[in-house]
Amino acid sequence: MNSRYFLPTSNVSHVWRLGQFSISYQPLSILVAFVLLLLVAAFAIYAMTLGKLNISLLQVVDAILGVGESGVKERIILNIRLPKVLTAIFVGAALGISGAVFQSVSRNALGSPDVIGFTTGAATGAIAQIVLFEQGALEVALAAIIGGVVTAIIVYLLAVKSGVVGGYRLILTGIGIGSILSALNSLMLVKGNLDSAIMANLWLAGSLHARTWMHVYPVLIGVVLLLPIMMVLKRALAMIEMGDEMATQLGIRVERVRLSMIFFAVVLAAFATGAAGPIAFIALAAPQLVSRLRQSRALSLFSSALMGALLVLAADVLIQWLPFQASVPIGRMTGIVGGIYLIWLLTRSRQF
């Protein structure tokens, strides 16, 4: 047996056969996913030790496994820090998956839920709720989800022509609707009263503050249920990247696959936005970072999810590390972490 089977240096496909069954796999991809998984776990546990009250790593592990002595620290971990960390993980994962799908559907490296107007629409919903109506957290989250989903539906319907939504027409329609809505957003922020405008501005920066289990469950259930379904459809979506005609000839129901993947991706983005507000750049950066690490442009949902989770967690840890008293919203920190990481990877690699 050759040593390259153990030490993957480039992302060559390998096939594992057993009788008539065979599975193709890429060693580098598996390695990347495995390392990301370890890093997410490590960051998650480490993030739970950070906070006003000092809690050691061991106590965190004990509390999660349910073997530690019950007390204030255990309650803090289980009721405050664990929900926050889980929100970070699943929000990141949902956005990572969503971004990967939209980059594939739009055949564009800049693809993200914004392609279909979701992010802008969600902001419109939230700002309208804050500026025009009342400001309860639940109402704002719901308004954001409704705004985003309605916008996505409108963009999709406008882009459909004789039953087909071309990737190109989808992008352009999304640009048009997105810019109208973002103008409306600015208008509401400028013309609304100052207090509401400041509230809305805070919501726009995203937040992981005071997240409870109520924030965790929807996005957690969404990711756990949808990811397996989407991974089944992934192969078909990857084929569609070659062109609608080609995929149709290969026996793929192009429109049906594309519509269901867009639908799932929007649902995930909606859950993520409801849980933490708009978190910038994860959807765009996570799939790109993964494809650079794997040295392959192939669509990857699982690793993109892990990368998204890792970026949000890392941003959260970094905020708590900051030595000076400055307020840094999580939505901005994810932009800085993801952006610098992507630039660094780009300057290092020559490919792509």
The span of 32-40, 86-94, 156-164, 264-272 binding another protein (CB under 8 A) equals: 156-164
- Contacting residue, 41, 172, 221, 250, with another protein by CB under 8 A: 172
The span of 76-84, 185-193, 213-221, 230-238 binding another protein (CB under 8 A) equals: 185-193
- Contacting residue, 161, 193, 209, 232, with another protein by CB under 8 A: 161
205 binds another protein (CB under 8 A): yes
Q: How far is the CB of 118 from another protein (least distance, A)?
A: 15
168 binds another protein (CB under 8 A): yes
Question: Quick one: which of 101, 97, 49 has its CA closest to 76?
Answer: 49
- Is 106 within 8 Å of 115 (Cβ atoms)? yes
Give the whole-angstrom CA distance, residue 301 versus residue 295. Answer: 15
Q: Which helix (H) or strand (E) holds 16?
A: strand 14-18
The span of 13-21, 210-218, 260-268, 342-350 binding another protein (CB under 8 A) equals: 342-350
Do strands 14-18 and 21-25 pair parallel, antiparallel, or not at all (unpaired)? antiparallel
110 binds another protein (CB under 8 A): yes
209 binds another protein (CB under 8 A): no
Tokens of 152: 């996505």
Sequence-separated (6 or more) residues with CB below 8 Å from residue 277: 126, 144, 203, 204, 205, 206, 207, 331
Q: Which of residues 262-301 bind another protein (CB under 8 A)?
A: 280-281, 284-285, 288
107 binds another protein (CB under 8 A): yes
Residue-by-residue DSSP string for 127-154: HHHHHHS---HHHHHHHHHHHHHHHHHH
Look up residue 143 and give its amino acid: A
The span of 62-70, 94-102, 139-147, 167-175 binding another protein (CB under 8 A) equals: 167-175
Give the whole-angstrom CA distance, residue 117 versus residue 95. Answer: 14
Tokens of 156: 């999709």
176 binds another protein (CB under 8 A): yes
- Residues forming the site for another protein (CB under 8 A): 107-110, 115, 158-159, 161, 166-169, 171-173, 175-177, 179-180, 182-184, 186-187, 190, 205, 243-245, 280-281, 284-285, 288, 326-329, 332-333, 335-336, 338-340, 342-343, 346-347, 350, 352
